[in-house]
Chain A
Amino acid sequence: MNFQLTKEQEFVRKMVREFAETEVEPIAADIDKEHRFPSENVAKMGKLGLMGVPFPKEWGGAGSDHIAYAITVEELSRVCGTTGVICSAHTSLCGWPIWHYGSDEQKKKYLPDLCKGVTLGAFGLTEPDAGSDAGATQTKAVDMGDHWLLNGTKVFITNGGYADIFVVFAMTDKSAGTRGISAFIIEKDFEGFSIGKTEDKMGICGSSTTELIFKDCVVPKENLLGNPGQGFKIALSTLDGGRIGIASQALGIAQGAFDVTVDYMKSRKQFGKPLSRMQALQFDMAEMKTRIEAARLLIYKAADMKDRHLPYGQDSAMAKYFAAETAMYVTTKAVQLHGGYGYMRDYPLERMMRDAKITEIYEGTTEVQKIVIAASIFK
């Protein structure tokens, strides 16, 4: 048992924090207001190795681990929740399943560019009537002999409008239920594939959330990911890891709101003394700090277990559930402690509070996390 980060992980935090404070924070408010995808920073992140942190060097990754990856998403999200989720969805939901389930040919073809940020990744599971209930998937893939033909619509796809590579799930055998789902690697230029509506969201407004439309989409045979019928397993195991990313995003948002509030409380004076000297408010900060630290430990533990190839699905679900609730709790308190200023767009708190909410919803709502956790208790 050792709670010390490795030197490598500490340097990753130092480097990502410098990058985030210099390049990401200055535009965070603008991309939120303008609903603008920060392509310029995503390109820089690719060059710095931030888009392939946990993947081995032989596939173009940085060769680090999942704690360093969690730290990366945390530090980006500390100043901008949008930038955090771009990295998380790309790495956990597209890079990881290709790395874990892909053939050598698929890895060679897709991973180096994904890891260097030359291409951006996304993940298409959710449909209008199927999200965590993946068995209700309507998108169909039909074996045409020399290719697959995909038809259907995916919704709420993070990175949708800017991604080049999509890991998408479709029914190849409806009669087999969840065992009839298969995974495919889709390139944005495939015939019959297009991006539909772009969603207008409450938070993470700079991220691109879109529909994916498959209309007689022609998919080469070699773009089946894993085996036919393995899609459901691929989706679930991918989401187990994705939750580490989203939990880290939630943690980063909470830490960011907390840090801004510490500075504010030291400088803001009321009734003749700074807010930081008022015990009732100190107690709020103590509560926030404790929850943040607890969330951090749950996340790093789940990431560490993943690196050690131990079962971590329950741990990542607990980390995501707790970190997301912490993000909501801390940002709501932080707005309150800022009073009227917290409610104003001149300060980052209201953005952080809007960004925090999504962490309780995507990649499985808090309720779904509880289902996952309970399933491991009573299995």
Chain B
Amino acid sequence: MRIIVCAKQVPDTSEVKIDPVKKTIIREGVPSILNPDDANALEEALKIKDQYPDTKVSVVTMGPPQAKDMLIECIAMGADEGVLLSDRAVGGSDTWSTSNALAATIRKMGHYDLIFAGRQAIDGDTAQVGPQIAEKLGLPQVTYVMEFAIDPNMEDITVKRQLEDGYEEIKIKAPCMLTAIKELNTPRYMTVDGIVHACSPEADIKVWNAKDVAVDLNTVGLDASPTNVYRSFTPAPKPPGIKLEADGEKEQAKLLLLKLKEKHAI
């Protein structure tokens, strides 16, 4: 079985700040990480490989040359192969352009039985790229996967899809696209043995450009993108709440009513 995992290198948003003048994300000095939901996607693929050792797990990403580091991390966790699509022609792509480029890359990667992606990336938060890739590859898809099981026939899959107030249980056949949420599993650590291998020349990491994947250049990059970011800003912080303190519930309710009346809420 071959599983493809779509992953993205993202700035660690726990440390991200927006430039108040230029309104863009300040990337200098911000560490880059494997997008958290994508780590869950990779973990699920690696769990299948743990159970069925002849499974091959390939990670695909698009980004600048330094995104190779993220592929090293994925291989150090246990992936077999990493593919990076890196080309100025695909720079500035929105989700539509990105999914065109990644769908072309996946076609070029050859046979697969299953594709995992993270639900969404913590920088853009769109949750669109996984589903769009599925559309472009003509695959059935389930998003927000919180539980996964595959039959030993490697075809019949049962997943739980998270909803706001519960979950759906869905049966689906491979090949398909599944997008993972953090409830799906706990990603494993890299191992030292894995790091040594991933950093060695033996590690299977391919860096391709737009020509290599034969993507139509009119469908990728900034100019081809039907959407673009108009402005980024930090929302003004909400003023702190107030705590109503009084003896007993009746007194507290009275205070609350008074406050609500003051604000003409009731």
Contacts and interface: CB of A to CB of B under 8 A. Distances in A.
Interface of A: 6-8, 11-12, 14-15, 18-19, 47-50, 53, 57, 62-64, 68, 72
**Lowest 5 A-B CB distances belong to which pairs?**
A49-B192, A62-B192, A8-B199, A15-B190, A11-B195
Contacts of A7: 69, 72, 199
B260 interface: no
Contacts of B193: 49, 57, 62-63
B189 A64 contact: no
A313 B147 CA distance: 55
B191 interface: yes
Interface in B170-223: 189-196, 198-199
Given A8-B199, A11-B73, A62 B191 contact: yes
Nearest to B196: A63
A7 B75 CA distance: 14
Nearest to A47: B191
B191 A64 contact: no
Contacts of A63: 193, 196
Nearest to B69: A7
Given A6-B199, A8-B199, A62-B196, A49 B191 contact: yes
11 contacts: A11-B72, A11-B195, A15-B76, A15-B192, A15-B195, A19-B189, A48-B190, A62-B191, A62-B195, A63-B193, A64-B195
Contacts of B195: 8, 11-12, 15, 62, 64
A57 B195 CA distance: 13
Q: Which of A7, A19, A47, A72 has the most CB of B within 10 A?
A: A7
Contacts of B198: 11
Contact of A48 (B192, B196, B199): B192
How many B residues touch the partner, as a band?
Answer: 10 to 19
Contacts of B190: 11, 14-15, 48
A68 B198 CA distance: 15
Contact of B189 (A15, A53, A57, A62): A15
Contacts of A6: 199
Contacts of B194: 49
A64 B72 contact: no
A58 B69 CA distance: 27
Interface in B60-98: 69, 72-73, 76
Contacts of A57: 193, 196
B191 to A, nearest CB: 5
Contacts of B196: 8, 57, 62-64
Contacts of A50: 192
A8 B75 CA distance: 12
A8 B196 CA distance: 6
Contacts of A62: 191-193, 195-196
A12 B191 CA distance: 8
A11 to B, nearest CB: 4
A265 to B, nearest CB: 19
